[in-house]
Amino acid sequence: MYRAREHPTILSELKSWSGVEASTIEGTFENDVLASNSLEFAKVEVELEQAYKAAFADTAWGEYLTRRAAEFGVDRKKATKAKVSLHVTGTGTVAAGSIFATADGLRFAAKEAVEITNEGRIDAVAMEQGTGGNVAAHTINTIPMNIPGILSVDNPKAAYDGFNEESDKELLRRFLIFVRTPATSGNAYHYYNWAMRVEGVGACRVFPLWAGAGTVKVNILDDNGRTASKDLKQAVFTYIESVRPIGATVTVASPTPKIVNLEADIDGTLDSERLKEELRGYIMGKGLDFTRLSAAMVIDKIMNQASVNDCANIKLNGGERVASSTDEILVVGEVKAHGFTS
């Protein structure tokens, strides 16, 4: 590993190489010349160290990691815009690109022109990319610019499939799996890599021969750690169909949520929302291979909160652990904190 030498080290070396005694005395012409040059050499050393790191995937970052992975055909997945179905009332024409918004200004545009008589449905997409567009149900209720004849708008269901650009950590993990696993001739690794190429896929597990010879099941989660939408499953299926070997029958599915309700006796104050988010991240980080959540795993997350002094009687759906099948994904539901009794 190349390490940049610091200014004092470089200056000391230059002085020893100069052979001029005056160079060791601060304030002399010789010393000032060597000191100024050593500063510039130190800058070059930093740049050399950065160039060294950028050359290897496990230390590269940003554009350098993107280009390194792309050399092997692994492209960084781009951010996507959330989709939503809107219910509008009134009688008139909603032109393609017509804007609807949430109270705090998140905007959505109609995908195509629709004639509305009394009421109707419109498909729209977020104006901005990323997870911020995945707004909750009944939050898109504003028409910023008047649409003649259209009176109101609402989204009966939450927006979905808005994903952030793939992070360096996620890209590196996918890249290393790609180069370290023998994906060939339509084996399980091949299907894994194909599914993970699709924007919006966050985890994947492949079941060869799941329904007999010539069948493959591909289980996926979306990039937010949730059950994949119908659109995302179709996108994965369409891509795999375009690249798979002839003869295989492919099924793309997504595990259904299995709610885990948590109870605990807490000495102190528990931040329930933080605990839920940390457990969600923990479960997602384990991917689809994670099939069991235990009280011991939860205790570690609880005790990481500075406002908690102690905890006891951790219950997950009334027991000490919860397991899921291959067709389920564990999702933390309600968190109840009770007063601590010693």
CA-CA-CA-CA torsion sign (162, 166, 169, 175): positive
What is the reported pLDDT for 44? Answer: 81
**For residue 277, pLDDT beyond 60:** yes
What is the reported pLDDT for 19? Answer: 65
| Chain segment 293-313, per-residue pLDDT in tens | 999 999 999 999 999 999 999
Token duo for residue 38: 């050593």
Across the range 24-34, mean pLDDT stands at: 70
What is the reported pLDDT for 158? Answer: 96
Query: 208: pLDDT confidence band, cut at 50, 70 and 90?
Result: very high
| Chain segment 231-243, per-residue pLDDT in tens | 999 999 999 999 9
What is the reported pLDDT for 2? Answer: 66
8 A C-beta contact, residue 299 and residue 282: no
Q: Computed over its alpha carbons, how large is the radius of gyration of the chain?
A: 28
| Chain segment 112-153, per-residue pLDDT in tens | 999 999 999 999 999 999 999 999 999 999 999 999 999 999
Terminus-to-terminus CA distance in the chain, angstroms?
A: 53
- For the chain, the helix, strand and coil percentages under 3-state DSSP, each to the nearest 5: 35, 30, 35
CA dist 42 and 11 (Å) reads: 9
Q: What count of residues does the chain have?
A: 342
Domain boundaries, the chain: 7-54, 81-154, 181-253, 257-339
What is the reported pLDDT for 132? Answer: 95
Query: 1: pLDDT confidence band, cut at 50, 70 and 90?
Result: low
8 A C-beta contact, residue 221 and residue 256: no
What is the reported pLDDT for 22? Answer: 56
CA dist 123 and 139 (Å) reads: 15
**For residue 261, pLDDT beyond 60:** yes
Query: 35: pLDDT confidence band, cut at 50, 70 and 90?
Result: confident
Across the range 268-297, mean pLDDT stands at: 88
**For residue 59, pLDDT beyond 70:** yes
* 77 compared with 182, residue with greater pLDDT: 77
Classify domain 181-253 at the CATH topology level.
GMP Synthetase; Chain A, domain 3 (3.30.300)
Burial class (CB within 10 angstroms; exposed 0-12, middle 13-18, buried 19+) of 213: exposed
- Whose tokens are 């390194």? That residue is 68
CA dist 123 and 83 (Å) reads: 7
CA dist 215 and 208 (Å) reads: 6
What is the reported pLDDT for 10? Answer: 67
- Give the rounded distance of the alpha carbon of 4 from its chain centre: 33
What is the reported pLDDT for 52? Answer: 85
Q: What is the DSSP letter of 96?
A: T
Round the average pLDDT of the chain to a whole number and report it: 90
